[in-house]
Amino acid sequence: MVDAVIGENTVARPRRAAGRKGLRHALKRKSTAAFLMTLPLILLIVLLVVYPALYSVHLATLNKSMQRFVGLGNFEFLFKRDTFWLVVKQSCIFAITAVVFKALIGFIVAHFVHNIPAKGQRKWRGMLLVPWVIPPAMSTLAWLWLFDPSYSAFNYTLAFFGIGPIPWTGDAAWARFSVILVNVWYGAPFFMIMYLAALKSVPEQLYEAAAIDGANWWQRIWYVTLPMMRNIIAITTLFSLIVTFANFDIVRILTAGGPLDKTHIFATWAFRVGIEGSDIPLGASVSLFMVPILAVAAIFILRDVSKRGNES
Amino acid sequence: MSRRKLNRRQFVAATAASSAVLITAPYVRGAYAAGKLSMGFWDHWVPGANQASTDLVNEWAAKEKVEVQIDYITSQGKKIELTIAAEGAAKSGHDLIAMPTWWPHAHAELLEPVNDIMEPIIQENGAVNGTVKYLGQSGGKWLAVPACVGSQIKGPCTRIDLMKKHAGIDVQELYPAGGPPKADSWTTETFLKAAEACQKGGVPFGIGLGETTDSVDSAGAFFQAFGAELVNAKGDVTVKTDAVRQSLEFYKRLIAALPPDVASWDDASNNKWLVSGKGAMIMNPPSAWAVAKRDAPQIAEQCWTHGFPAGPKGRFAPFLPYFWSIWSFSKNKEAAKSLIVHLSKPSSIEKMVVASGGYDLPAYEKLTTLKVWQEQGPPTGTLYHYPNPYNHQTLSIAASPAPPKIAQQIYAQATMTKMCLRYAQGEKMEATLAWAEGECEGFMRS
């Protein structure tokens, strides 16, 4: 009996010691330290992102009065609604058109700023970033006044040239143009600053070599600048696509989805259905419909990022 | 450092002595003996109007020994609706909350019935109008008590001078201050002719065709004047009727006489239209007139708030009540009921109406002739007919009599104004009706 006890102790001690040693090793490992350091952030993400996301999935499976489980019933219902498909179409038009123009304008302006002598460049950079720095809800209010149906400042100005009045937010086509314009105005500076950073990292020698080879302006852009900026263009475009798809404030303030639902996008229609119509499960289903679209975009981003990592 | 230690005997003695003192001590009523009560009230547009509510609540709290906390929640950006939705989902929040029009029905399952207080309130203040019954009652159960604060009628506010000049109509004669209306000639046909005349005169009526409440309310009242229902009280879709067709024909003519941009008007557009002096009429509570009184007094002096034109099926005006409701998860329901009773006393209601400059409307029949509406001006008597003192029009809400949960969808999605626009923009009548029928069928889900 005594022997057995002694035997147990002699076995247990080295095990505990080995455990302590293992823990020490684990703590010394870089990956463990990294995990511990990111743990607060992970917890925050779980609390602020994962939980609400799961909760919205739960909501999307309930009936209108939130008392009965209906599975995918809300999605089935949505697929039968013309307005839903109108919103899908409009969200795509809105996001793709806005991102293309933001990228194009950002690219052109970044080149202009890049060519400004270093002394005055900071001032221009600061000024061009202003639209991006002002909270969009505030700047959109200013646009709302500019587009005001009855007292539009734009129409007042155009009247001097005998043009107009243009129904900026009263006609479906003009209303779509207006919301896209404001989104481009707000988002283009982000592209500009990203592209400017990318431009600055292109080695000057490449342009010199291209010049020696007799490359013209267009060839320098096509064969030197664009390949060097490829990654940043892809990441910025895809990132912006996600943000633009999920936009709410600009459309909500400028047109609230009208006229005749012709400017609704996912977020604004989800708000209309969920909050204004007191059908929270259906609103949750509308906003969740963005997930597969945005997930595809996110996969592209991550693939691009990892590819970039491998190349470097 | 010395520490005095209690031995076992001393500890037992001290405990026994303390218990004896606590048991024999007389009951002393604390400052907040009746507990705590939190309330979410609508944040009033009219400066200073919140103070009347605060004073009334404090007066009640001091008497009842209740600790109160008031949050004034704005309706800007639908903040009050968001708060209600969040509290309903979390089953936690204020004990008592102000709910706009459709929300008591939307959250009927989560509200404390208030029949016990509603009946004595009605006995004291008189019967409530039909719209309040429709929105505040479910299966004989009162879901909430109509709040004076925030309730409004969106009747025509007409420029006396412009209407006389361009349409030859004297609105003061139709709706004299201090007397009953003499408005038999004020019909939808007269209204259309007046709209056309004012448009020709360069001062069109300012009636929105957007998707916000002002536009929807006007369309709702005109549809009802023609007897048009998209969904009837039983819940059957009744879009394809002659009454709906007549309403669309009426609106097609009306839209032709309105400013060209009405499709994008929101609830601020009509107010600006009146205050800028560009138009001869808008459909609004007296807030636009009150702003004009401050910013453009020469325009305010020419404004007269009055009744709606009558259609083939009667004269209807949009009434939008607010309600005071008690969550079923409230921790102090009795105190909440007691406060609502206090706020519904005629003297309390009068204080709130006066503080709002006549904007707030009680829903009770004995309280539509308060002095404040007779005295307000300029011009004196401009608000005399605002609270419908002679019951000369039926107070209604757009999309009624459909069951409230379906009607709320029709209202929120602005189905009626969209129908009017689609038809006026050239869509075939039957195509518009088919579209609306499809929409209404979609609103049936429970």
pLDDT of residue B75: 87
- pLDDT surpasses 80 at B304: yes
* Amino acid A2: pLDDT: 41
Tokens 């200013």 found at:
A142
- B259–chain A Cβ distance below 8 A for any pair: yes
Enumerate the residues of chain B whose CB falls inside 8 A of the CB of residue A260: 263, 418, 421-422
Residue B28 CB: number of other CB atoms within 10 A? 6
- Residues B442 and B440: their CA atoms lie apart, in Å, by 5
Query: In this structure, are residues A67 and B89 in contact, taking their beta carbons and an 8 Å threshold?
Result: no
A260 SS3 class: coil
Tell me whether residues A277 and B412 touch, CB distance under 8 A.
Answer: yes
Local confidence band at B11 (pLDDT 50, 70, 90 cut-offs): low
| Residue B8 predicted with pLDDT over 70 | no
Q: Percent of chain B, pLDDT > 90?
A: 84
- Is the minimum CB–CB distance between A175 and chain B shorter than 8 Å? yes
pLDDT, position A66: 85
Please give the mean pLDDT across all residues of chain B: 92
Is residue A230 scored above 60 in pLDDT?
yes
Closest CA to A175 of A96, A257, A101: A257
Contacts of B272 in chain A (CB under 8 A): 150-151
> Average pLDDT in the B2-11 region?
58
pLDDT over 90 (residue B441): yes
Q: In the structure, what pLDDT confidence band is assigned to residue B7 with cuts at 50, 70 and 90?
A: low
pLDDT for position B135 = 97
- pTM as predicted: 0.85
B136 pLDDT above the threshold of 60 = yes
Would the CB atoms of A279 and B409 count as touching at under 8 Å?
Answer: yes
Identify residue B227 by its one-letter amino acid code.
G
Residue linked to tokens 């819940």: B235
Record: contact B260-A67, CB cut-off 8 A: no
Among A213-217, B1-5, B142-146, whose mean pLDDT is lowest?
Answer: B1-5
CB contact under 8 A, A167 and B261: yes
Residues 6+ apart with CB under 8 A from B348: B56, B342
Q: Give the model's confidence band at B20: pLDDT under 50 very low, under 70 low, under 90 confident, else very high.
A: low
Percent of chain A with pLDDT over 90: 46
Q: What confidence tens digit (pLDDT) does each residue in A149-202 have?
A: 788 889 999 988 988 788 899 889 999 999 999 999 999 999 999 999 999 888
Is the model's pLDDT at B27 over the cut of 80?
no
* pLDDT greater than 80 at residue B438: yes
How far the first Cα of chain A sits from its last, in Å, is 65
Sequence-distant (≥ 6) Cβ neighbours of residue B88 within 8 angstroms: B107, B110, B327
Tell me the count of A-B CB pairs closer than 8 A.
93
Beta bridge partners of B42: B73
Please state, in angstroms and rounded to a whole number, the distance separating the CA atoms of residues B433 and A67: 33
For testing the chain B interface, which of A278, A279, A282 should be mutated: the one with the most B CBs within 10 Å?
A278
Q: What pLDDT sits at residue A19?
A: 65
pLDDT given for residue B29 in this prediction: 53
Please state, in angstroms and rounded to a whole number, the distance separating the CA atoms of residues B145 and B107. 14
> What is the pairing mode between strands B96-100 and B67-73?
unpaired
A249 CB within 8 Å of a chain B CB: no
Please state the rounded mean pLDDT for residues B49-58: 95
**pLDDT above 50 for B1:** no
Query: DSSP assignment of B348-413, as one string?
Result: HHHHHHHHTTT-----BGGGS--HHHHH-TTTTTTTTTTT-TT--SEEE-TTTTS-HHHHHHHHHT
Is B138 near chain A, with CB under 8 Å? no
What pLDDT was estimated at residue B87?
94
The mean per-residue pLDDT over the stretch A197-221 comes to 89
Q: Is A167 in Cβ contact with B264 (below 8 Å)?
A: yes
Nearest residue, CB atoms, B81 vs list A150, A257, A275: A275
Report residue A275 as tokens.
């909050």
A278 closest CB neighbour out of B263, B266, B408: B408
Is residue B232 a contact partner of residue B405, using CB atoms and an 8 Å limit? no
pLDDT band per the 50, 70, 90 thresholds, residue B208? very high
pLDDT at A58: 94
- For residue B383, the one-letter residue type is L
Pairing state between β B281-283 and B156-159: antiparallel
Say what the pLDDT of residue A148 is. 86
pLDDT above 90: residue A29: no
The structure tokens listed for B13 are 């003695």
**Model confidence pLDDT, tens digit, residues A232-263:** 888 888 889 888 988 999 999 999 998 999 99
Residue A8 confidence class, pLDDT cut points 50, 70, 90: very low
Is the CB of residue A167 less than 8 Å away from at least one CB of chain B?
yes
Query: Would you call B264 and A257 a contact, using CB atoms and an 8 Å cutoff?
Result: no
> Cβ contacts (< 8 Å) between A151 and chain B: which residues?
272, 276
Report the pLDDT value the prediction gives residue B120, as an integer from 0 to 100.
95
Which band of pLDDT confidence, cut at 50, 70 and 90, is reported for residue A22?
A: confident
Distance from CA of A166 to the nearest CA of B (A): 9
Q: Does A31 touch chain B (CB under 8 A)?
A: no
Predicted confidence band at B427 (pLDDT cuts at 50, 70, 90)?
Answer: very high
